[in-house]
Structure 1
Amino acid sequence: MGVNLSEEHPLPFTSYKDAAEWINSLIPFGIRPGLDRIVAMMEYFGNPQRRLKFIHVAGTNGKGSSCAFLSSTLRECGYDVGMFTSPYITKFTNRFQFNGKDIPEDTLLSLANRISPVVREVAASELGSPTMFEVSTALAILYFAEVCYPDVIVWETGLGGRMDVTNLVTPIVSLITNVGMDHTDILGDSLEDIAREKAGIIKPGVPVVSCVSQPSAAAVLKETAAAKGSTLYLLGEQFDYERKPFSGGTQRIRFKGPFREIDIELSMLGEHQCTNASGTMMVLEVLRQYMAFVMEDEHVHAGFKQTFWAGRLEQVSEQPRIVLDGAHNPEGAAALVSSLPEAFSYRKLILMMGMLANKHHREYLEHILPIVDTLILTEPDIHKKMDADALYHLINEMRPHAAKPDLEVIVERDWKSALALLQSRTEREDLGVVTGTLYMISDVRATLLHHTDSEKGW
């Protein structure tokens, strides 16, 4: 594919804002599984991804936190680390990080101007227009391969695995955090189908780590790994962890791997983070044992303890006490329900919720409703939002068998008004929680932390 940067195609963008708006303008092209367009774009640039070392991370929940654990610990051990994740919480540049810092705006502008003519050419072909996520992935590869040169890149899938754009790369190790019922409209409506899509990131001879717990999903991973000649390290079989009593605002686990045992302290809250940390530690052990990565225990300890990931059981306000958690599917709801009473003491739980329309709301609510005293239903500021009245009707249908007898349910479509209501209703001994889609978590977080330059998107 040849692209002519002639006078007919002057540099289209003169500011970061222009470049980011152009990339996000591709969102209407949607999620289009398949690698043809990204392959075409990368071939034009000489396949720079082949020069890079990736840790590929897939899974239904825990991808972001696991990426954060990996990035923090590898940096603490002295490595230069790139990280590509989605969605972002504060700003579009959050997606592309080098050593914990966002891509500079002028660098993103420069790379967008390089990619733009290639996108035009692919769009004019039978392949059709690249999507926002495809262009973002191409930009990430160019950033890492030609600008900042990290030693290793923590590389998060966008959706699924097998047909996800990020599956263009061959990693040095893969991590599949877990498998749950999410994005069933695209990935399939059984655990086995979804596991098969996630297992698509397993490459021939490349070791893979997983914390998948369901026997049927684990069987799919075992079968795929065996067929690809890849060593599988599965939680509960090749490695495990023992959770220590919760104390002092942090939690501790004893990681038990095939090569050694080690104690780890976490600032991230919730038992699900113990599982995420355990999977991450197994990945690091593979790198240490087989790929000559040097990791001193003191640096490993520091890396895990200082890991932070926005919007995951994150307390953002003291008076009233408000916690943000981007639980948006049944597995996330289960983790939230088990974590809240352990991490916080409270009299009443006032919960504000805004969801997307394509989620398993009934299963989600079966976890959430039994612990909530006041539920404020709202709508995220995005076209794919779930109608708050429809959620209200579903809750009324479930109320007799799933909710507290005196549960109060309030519908406030405007999320800003809903947030004000949450703040006014959460008294000193109570806990206010905002949960649901990360689109809304992003808006609420920016408001409460006064981030006036916050952006939002997938």
Structure 2
Amino acid sequence: MPDRIETYEQAIEFLFGRINYERIQAEAYSTSDFKLDRMRRLLELMGNPHERIPAIHVAGTKGKGSTCSMLSSILAASGYRCGLYISPHITAFEERFTINGVMPTQSEFIGLVNRLLPMITQMDNMPGRMQPTYFELATALAWLHFLEQNVDIAVLEVGLGGRLDSTNLCKPLVTVITNVSRDHTHVLGSTVHQIAYEKAGIVKSGIPTISGVTHPDALAMVEETCRERGSPLKLLGRDFRLVDRHLDEHEQVQIDVTTSTSNWQQMPVALRGPHQAVNATLALAVVDELRQLNWDLSDDDVRQGLLSVSWPARVEVIARRPTVIVDAAHNWESARALVASLNESTKLRKRILVFAATKDKDVAGILRQLLPHFDTLVLTRYLDNPRGVSLEELSRLVNALTVRPAHLAKDPLAAWTLAKRLATQDDVIVITGSFFLVAELRSTIAEECRATLN
């Protein structure tokens, strides 16, 4: 344990040296490795910053990050200092905790880590597996940064599950459960009912819950949990509705939404894909709850917040001619949403898929959603994480699902080089399957585009 960290590189190396469940094989851990005792003790040593900052807490299998991003943008457009905590990051660790879209500087980041070091040392010397993990320290750094920068509110994306997630010690004004489907089954359970139990663990007594859950088993669990804990529950399709989704004369997606207190008309949805209309609907339902708590959120500010939202690696176009889209879809539902978005905007182009995946995911389920909609397949394995599925296994899965041959590339850069060679200027290259694949290629492609423009 260092006494003091001097450089940004040392700070990152220190954090990455902690136990990191984002990079450990799924079979190497279980729910017994996740508990709130460590996080609770760490926050106590920090002076309990989470008790001084109101929060919006968002869980779900899909859409939670986009919903968080929309809410953060709305609050910032309304004049509030809003902290946003998300995971994982794409390019820089500090992307995980921003304020009104701005990351801490490297010097601020070094200072935050140094202020935590004495508390980490104290906990490392405690008995009973109290050494804080990578994700717990990321959460603690976010709370410390938000407190020191005097944010008015924090929007928190659950990292894994909900019940035992490090974010679940927050004091929310509203909790949100976007939806529930099968993901992280090794930790959360093999059935939708079990997974919903973990997601619904964020529900708090007396605190309103907004939910887009539709699966009958998940819905039953969310309703039961809210009833037991006295949390007023508002459901998509029952208490608030997406009435219409359409394009305006500038081909900007707009939605009409009704809630128990508002009738939102022609609200813009800047993020691509039909599924983002549902996420925006959930965000508007949360806005109504905040208004009931006397937060000043005007219609114009909400509209501006939705229009200006940015969410990297979610059906994100990062290059043209050929069009290059990166998307961090890593479960079958996200893959289906990606395909729906492509079908809206790229119907006449040849599609080239660059794909890698993580071992604890339903890789076959993801591929079933994607393969019928692509003309050319390039399989690879990302380098920066041992959980990557091997080329041999990916090839076996693809061969079991389609007769279309797949190209194999030893690493993401080789896959990108091959995809470029296979594409014409009118084609679309889609890079998806994992956050880790997107992280390894997104900055490389962006730099190539900048070099071409210069």
TM-score w.r.t. the length of structure 2 is 0.93
Cα distance in 1 for partners of 2:261, 2:190 equals: 37
Segment of structure 1 superposing worse, 160-169 or 362-371: 362-371
Residue 366 of structure 1: how far off its partner (Å): 1.4
CA contact 2:70–2:283 (8 Å) conserved in 1: yes
**Separation in structure 2 between the aligned mates of residue 164 and residue 303 of structure 1, nearest angstrom:** 28
Which of 431, 434, 444 does residue 447 from structure 1 map onto?
A: 444
Q: Distance in 1 between matches of 2:128 and 2:280?
A: 40
* Conservation of the 8 A alpha-carbon contact between 1:249 and 1:267: no
How far does residue 89 in structure 1 lie from its aligned partner after superposition?
1.2
Deviation string for 1:316-369 (max 9, x for gaps)?
Answer: 111211111111101111111111010224331111001111110111111111
Residues 340 and 10 of structure 1: CA distance in aligned 2, closer, same or farther (over 3 Å):
closer
Aligned to 2:354: 352
Residue 410 of structure 2 corresponds to which residue in structure 1?
413
Residues in 2 aligned to 1:16 and 1:347: alpha-carbon distance in whole angstroms: 43
1:389 paired with 2:396, answer no
CA distance in 2, matches of 1:245, 1:171: 33
Looking at structure 1, the residues matched to 418 and 76 of structure 2 have their Cα atoms a distance apart, in angstroms, of: 41
Q: In the aligned structure 1, how far is the partner of 2:410 from the partner of 2:135?
A: 29
- How far did residue 11 of structure 1 move? 3.8
Counterparts of 1:126-141 in structure 2, within 5 Å, are: 126-128=127-129, 129-141=131-143
Residue 94 (str. 1) matches residue 95 (str. 2) = yes
Give 1:46 deviation, angstroms.
2.0
2:42 and 2:123 in contact (8 A); partners too: yes
Partner SS state of residue 162, structure 2: coil
Which residues of 2 match residues 199-348 of structure 1 at below 5 A? 199-246=200-247, 248-263=250-265, 264-289=267-292, 291-348=293-350
Give the Cα–Cα distance (whole angstroms) in 1 for the partners of residues 121 and 228 of structure 2.
39
2:428 is the alignment partner of 1:431: yes
Confirm or deny: 8 A CA contact 2:53 2:171 kept in the other structure.
Answer: no
2:110 counterpart letter in structure 1: L
Instruction: Provide the secondary structure at the position in 2 that maps to 1:450.
Output: helix
Q: Distance in 2 between matches of 1:237 and 1:66?
A: 19
Partners of 1:311 and 1:411 in 2: how far apart?
23
Correspondence 1:13 to 2:5: yes
Aligned residue type for 2:287: L
Alignment counterpart, residue 362 of structure 1, candidates 361, 364, 367: 364
Of 14, 18, 22, the residue aligned with 1:26 is: 18
Matched-pair contact (CA < 8 Å) for 1:37–1:127: no
Deviation per residue, 1:65-119 (Å, 9 max, x gap): 1111001111111111011111111211111111210012222211211211211
Aligned identity (percent) is 36
Q: Deviations over 1:32-78 (max 9, x none)?
A: 31111111111112212111101011111112111110011111111
- How far off its partner does 1:303 sit? 0.6
Distance 2:301 2:339 in 1: 32
Which residue type is aligned with residue 70 of structure 1? Answer: L
SS at 1:379 equivalent? coil
Tell me the distance in 2 between the aligned counterparts of 1:225 and 1:409: 47
CA distance in 1, matches of 2:274, 2:245: 11
SS of match in other structure, 1:352: strand
- Are the aligned partners of 1:36 and 1:127 in contact in 2 as well (CA < 8 Å)? no
The letter of the residue matching 2:413 is: K
Say how many residue pairs are matched: 436
How far did 1:413 drift?
A: 2.0
Q: How does 1:177-188 map to 2 (within 5 A)?
A: 177-188=178-189
Residue in 2 that maps onto 1:456: none
Deviation at 1:20, TM superposition (A): 1.8
Is residue 60–residue 161 contact of structure 2 (8 Å, CA) maintained in 1? yes
